Structure 1
Protein backbone atom coordinates (compact mmCIF):
# COMPACT_ATOMS: atom_id res chain seq x y z
CA UNK A 1 0.00 0.00 0.00
CA UNK A 2 1.81 3.10 -1.20
CA UNK A 3 0.62 6.61 -0.50
CA UNK A 4 0.54 9.37 -3.08
CA UNK A 5 1.50 13.03 -2.62
CA UNK A 6 -2.23 13.81 -2.50
CA UNK A 7 -2.62 11.38 0.42
CA UNK A 8 0.16 13.15 2.30
CA UNK A 9 -1.53 16.49 1.66
CA UNK A 10 -4.85 15.17 2.97
CA UNK A 11 -3.23 13.66 6.07
CA UNK A 12 -1.38 16.91 6.76
CA UNK A 13 -4.64 18.84 6.41
CA UNK A 14 -6.45 16.51 8.81
CA UNK A 15 -3.58 16.80 11.32
CA UNK A 16 -3.58 20.59 10.85
CA UNK A 17 0.07 20.49 9.72
CA UNK A 18 1.56 22.95 7.29
CA UNK A 19 4.22 21.07 5.32
CA UNK A 20 6.63 22.57 2.82
CA UNK A 21 6.95 20.68 -0.50
CA UNK A 22 10.32 19.25 0.57
CA UNK A 23 8.78 18.07 3.87
CA UNK A 24 5.91 16.43 1.98
CA UNK A 25 8.36 14.51 -0.22
CA UNK A 26 10.39 13.40 2.80
CA UNK A 27 7.20 12.38 4.66
CA UNK A 28 5.98 10.44 1.61
CA UNK A 29 9.27 8.53 1.39
CA UNK A 30 9.31 7.76 5.12
CA UNK A 31 5.71 6.57 5.32
CA UNK A 32 5.99 4.48 2.15
CA UNK A 33 9.22 3.00 3.54
CA UNK A 34 7.36 2.05 6.71
CA UNK A 35 4.55 0.44 4.71
CA UNK A 36 7.15 -1.46 2.68
CA UNK A 37 8.68 -2.83 5.88
CA UNK A 38 5.23 -3.91 7.13
CA UNK A 39 4.55 -5.70 3.83
CA UNK A 40 7.91 -7.51 4.06
CA UNK A 41 7.09 -8.63 7.61
CA UNK A 42 3.63 -9.82 6.53
CA UNK A 43 5.23 -11.98 3.82
CA UNK A 44 7.11 -14.04 6.42
CA UNK A 45 5.45 -17.31 7.41
CA UNK A 46 5.06 -17.21 11.20
CA UNK A 47 2.75 -20.20 11.57
CA UNK A 48 3.95 -22.39 14.39
CA UNK A 49 5.94 -19.60 16.05
CA UNK A 50 4.93 -19.04 19.65
CA UNK A 51 4.50 -15.40 20.73
CA UNK A 52 7.04 -14.09 23.24
CA UNK A 53 6.16 -12.32 26.47
CA UNK A 54 9.57 -10.64 26.33
CA UNK A 55 12.06 -10.41 23.42
CA UNK A 56 14.87 -11.88 25.54
CA UNK A 57 12.72 -14.98 26.14
CA UNK A 58 13.90 -16.27 22.75
CA UNK A 59 17.41 -16.71 24.20
CA UNK A 60 16.97 -17.34 27.93
CA UNK A 61 14.31 -18.07 30.53
CA UNK A 62 12.80 -14.76 31.70
CA UNK A 63 10.81 -14.47 34.89
CA UNK A 64 8.60 -11.40 34.84
CA UNK A 65 8.65 -9.48 38.09
CA UNK A 66 5.00 -8.92 38.85
CA UNK A 67 3.92 -6.95 41.86
CA UNK A 68 1.10 -8.05 44.10
CA UNK A 69 -2.28 -6.71 43.00
CA UNK A 70 -3.18 -4.72 46.10
CA UNK A 71 -5.12 -1.54 46.78
CA UNK A 72 -2.65 1.33 47.08
CA UNK A 73 -4.94 4.18 48.06
CA UNK A 74 -7.92 4.46 50.35
CA UNK A 75 -11.32 5.45 49.01
CA UNK A 76 -11.53 9.12 49.93
CA UNK A 77 -14.32 10.11 47.56
CA UNK A 78 -16.51 11.61 50.30
CA UNK A 79 -13.65 13.75 51.59
CA UNK A 80 -12.79 14.93 48.08
CA UNK A 81 -16.40 15.80 47.26
CA UNK A 82 -17.01 17.86 50.41
CA UNK A 83 -15.66 20.98 48.71
CA UNK A 84 -17.60 20.41 45.46
CA UNK A 85 -20.43 22.84 44.77
CA UNK A 86 -22.82 20.07 43.70
CA UNK A 87 -22.70 16.29 44.14
CA UNK A 88 -25.34 13.65 43.51
CA UNK A 89 -24.99 9.92 44.27
CA UNK A 90 -21.20 10.15 44.39
CA UNK A 91 -20.87 12.09 41.12
CA UNK A 92 -19.73 15.67 40.58
CA UNK A 93 -22.46 17.76 38.97
CA UNK A 94 -21.36 20.44 36.52
CA UNK A 95 -23.29 23.04 34.55
CA UNK A 96 -24.52 22.00 31.11
CA UNK A 97 -22.14 23.39 28.48
CA UNK A 98 -23.53 21.78 25.30
CA UNK A 99 -26.97 22.67 24.02
Structure 2
Protein backbone atom coordinates (compact mmCIF):
# COMPACT_ATOMS: atom_id res chain seq x y z
CA UNK A 1 0.00 0.00 0.00
CA UNK A 2 1.33 3.44 -0.88
CA UNK A 3 2.02 6.25 1.52
CA UNK A 4 -0.21 8.75 -0.31
CA UNK A 5 -2.42 10.48 2.23
CA UNK A 6 -4.98 13.26 1.91
CA UNK A 7 -2.47 15.53 3.66
CA UNK A 8 0.22 14.78 1.03
CA UNK A 9 -2.31 15.47 -1.75
CA UNK A 10 -3.21 18.79 -0.11
CA UNK A 11 0.49 19.65 0.16
CA UNK A 12 1.14 18.80 -3.51
CA UNK A 13 -1.93 20.81 -4.55
CA UNK A 14 -0.71 23.84 -2.58
CA UNK A 15 2.76 23.57 -4.17
CA UNK A 16 1.12 23.46 -7.60
CA UNK A 17 -1.30 26.23 -6.59
CA UNK A 18 -4.30 24.06 -7.44
CA UNK A 19 -7.50 24.49 -5.47
CA UNK A 20 -9.09 21.09 -4.74
CA UNK A 21 -12.37 20.19 -3.10
CA UNK A 22 -12.49 17.51 -0.41
CA UNK A 23 -14.07 15.11 -2.95
CA UNK A 24 -11.20 15.75 -5.38
CA UNK A 25 -8.64 15.21 -2.62
CA UNK A 26 -10.25 11.88 -1.71
CA UNK A 27 -10.36 10.80 -5.34
CA UNK A 28 -6.77 11.85 -6.04
CA UNK A 29 -5.54 10.12 -2.89
CA UNK A 30 -6.93 6.84 -4.21
CA UNK A 31 -5.75 7.38 -7.80
CA UNK A 32 -2.24 8.53 -6.88
CA UNK A 33 -1.96 5.64 -4.44
CA UNK A 34 -2.81 3.19 -7.23
CA UNK A 35 -0.20 4.78 -9.50
CA UNK A 36 2.51 4.59 -6.83
CA UNK A 37 1.60 0.94 -6.13
CA UNK A 38 1.78 0.11 -9.86
CA UNK A 39 5.23 1.71 -10.15
CA UNK A 40 6.40 -0.23 -7.09
CA UNK A 41 5.19 -3.48 -8.69
CA UNK A 42 7.13 -2.75 -11.87
CA UNK A 43 10.24 -1.93 -9.85
CA UNK A 44 10.01 -5.32 -8.12
CA UNK A 45 9.74 -7.17 -11.43
CA UNK A 46 12.49 -5.26 -13.26
CA UNK A 47 15.83 -6.62 -12.10
CA UNK A 48 19.32 -5.29 -12.63
CA UNK A 49 19.62 -7.32 -15.86
CA UNK A 50 16.62 -5.52 -17.44
CA UNK A 51 17.69 -2.31 -19.21
CA UNK A 52 15.58 0.82 -18.79
CA UNK A 53 13.59 1.68 -21.92
CA UNK A 54 11.26 4.41 -23.07
CA UNK A 55 9.66 2.29 -25.83
CA UNK A 56 9.10 -1.46 -26.05
CA UNK A 57 10.37 -1.48 -29.65
CA UNK A 58 13.42 0.58 -30.68
CA UNK A 59 12.51 3.61 -32.78
CA UNK A 60 14.28 3.97 -36.11
CA UNK A 61 13.92 5.99 -39.29
CA UNK A 62 12.43 9.09 -37.76
CA UNK A 63 14.11 11.51 -40.14
CA UNK A 64 14.66 11.57 -43.85
CA UNK A 65 17.85 12.65 -45.60
CA UNK A 66 17.98 16.41 -46.03
CA UNK A 67 18.45 16.91 -49.76
CA UNK A 68 17.96 20.25 -51.51
CA UNK A 69 15.14 20.39 -54.03
CA UNK A 70 13.88 22.83 -56.59
CA UNK A 71 12.32 25.86 -54.87
CA UNK A 72 9.02 27.36 -55.98
CA UNK A 73 9.05 30.41 -58.18
CA UNK A 74 7.33 33.54 -56.88
CA UNK A 75 4.42 32.94 -59.23
CA UNK A 76 4.03 29.32 -58.07
CA UNK A 77 4.14 30.34 -54.40
CA UNK A 78 1.53 33.08 -54.90
CA UNK A 79 -0.73 31.00 -57.18
CA UNK A 80 -2.95 29.76 -54.33
CA UNK A 81 -2.80 32.89 -52.20
CA UNK A 82 -6.12 34.62 -51.51
CA UNK A 83 -4.44 38.03 -51.97
CA UNK A 84 -1.03 39.22 -53.16
CA UNK A 85 0.60 42.25 -54.73
CA UNK A 86 2.40 40.20 -57.37
CA UNK A 87 5.59 39.69 -55.36
CA UNK A 88 4.36 39.15 -51.78
CA UNK A 89 1.44 37.73 -49.83
CA UNK A 90 -0.99 40.43 -48.75
CA UNK A 91 -2.53 39.99 -45.30
CA UNK A 92 -4.66 42.15 -43.03
CA UNK A 93 -2.96 44.27 -40.40
CA UNK A 94 -2.63 42.74 -36.94
CA UNK A 95 -2.00 44.02 -33.42
CA UNK A 96 -3.65 47.34 -34.14
CA UNK A 97 -1.13 48.37 -36.75
CA UNK A 98 -2.54 50.66 -39.41
CA UNK A 99 -1.11 51.28 -42.86
TM-score by length of 2: 0.51
Q: Which has the larger radius of gyration?
A: 2
Q: What's the CA shift for 1:67?
A: 4.2
For 1:40 and 1:28, the matched residues in 2 are separated by: 18
How many residues get paired?
66
- Could you tell me how far 1:68 is from its partner in structure 2? 5.0
Offset of 1:34 from its aligned partner? Answer: 0.7
How many Å apart are 1:5 and its aligned residue? 1.0
Partner residue, 2:15: 14
Corresponding residue SS for 1:43: helix
Where structure 1 has 5 or more consecutive residues not aligned to the other structure, the ranges are 70-99
Question: Separation in 2 of the partners of 1:33 and 1:65?
Answer: 35
| Structure 2: runs of 5 or more not aligned | 67-99
CA RMSD of aligned residues (A): 2.8
